[in-house]
Copies of this chain bind each other. A is one copy, B any other.
Amino acid sequence: MQDLKLSKRDEWEAMGFDLNNCPVRSVLDHVGAKWTVLILFELQNGAQRFNALGRALPDISKRMLTQTLRDLERDGMVKRQVFDTKPPSVAYSLTDMGQSLMTPLLGLVGWAEAQMPAVQTARKAYDEQAARL
C-alpha cells in the first residue's frame, strides 16, 4: 500500500516522524514480546539469577531467556551483574527505568484482567457467527 503520491507518510516525514524509529513502537515491541512482561514481573521480586529465572518461567527456552534479557539490558530496563564465583554467577535486576515501566504496565494488565470476560464473550460470538457461513 505504498502507491500514493501525497500521503500521510509524507506528512509524518515532514513532522520528523519515522515509523522505523518510533519511540512508541520500540517500547511496544518489547511489551508485546512473548516473555518480556513475565520476566519484568518476576524481577519485581528482586534480583534473580539466570537459571532461577528459567525455573520461574518454566516454558521459556534458554535461547529466548537470553535474548529477552539482552534486549532489556540494552534498553536500560535490566541490569546484568557477573560475580566471579566458581562457577560464575550472573544476577539480573530491574533498573529504575525498568521499575518505572511497571506503573503503566500494571494499568494495562489491570485493564486486561477486567475486560477478559467481555473479550471471551466477543470471541465466542464472532466464532459462532463465522461457523454459520
Contacts of A9 in B (CB 8 A): 58-59
Contacts of A26 in B (CB 8 A): 112, 116, 119
Encode A91-125 as 1/0 by CB contact (under 8 A) with B: 00000010011011101111111011011011100
This chain: how many copies in the complex? Answer: 2
Whole-angstrom distance between the Cβ of A44 and the nearest chain B Cβ = 14
Whole-angstrom distance between the Cβ of A26 and the nearest chain B Cβ = 7
Interface size for A (C-beta < 8 A) is 55
Whole-angstrom distance between the Cβ of A76 and the nearest chain B Cβ = 3
Contact between B73 and A126 (Cβ–Cβ < 8 Å)? yes
Whole-angstrom distance between the Cβ of A7 and the nearest chain B Cβ = 5
Please report the C-alpha to C-alpha distance between residue A4 and residue B127 in the assembled complex, in whole angstroms.
Answer: 37
B1, B56, B103: the one within 8 Å of A59 (CB)? B1
Contact between B105 and A108 (Cβ–Cβ < 8 Å)? yes
Binding site for B on A (CB under 8 A): 1-2, 4, 7-9, 19, 23-29, 31-34, 37, 54-62, 65, 73-76, 97, 100-101, 103-105, 107-113, 115-116, 118-119, 121-123, 126-127
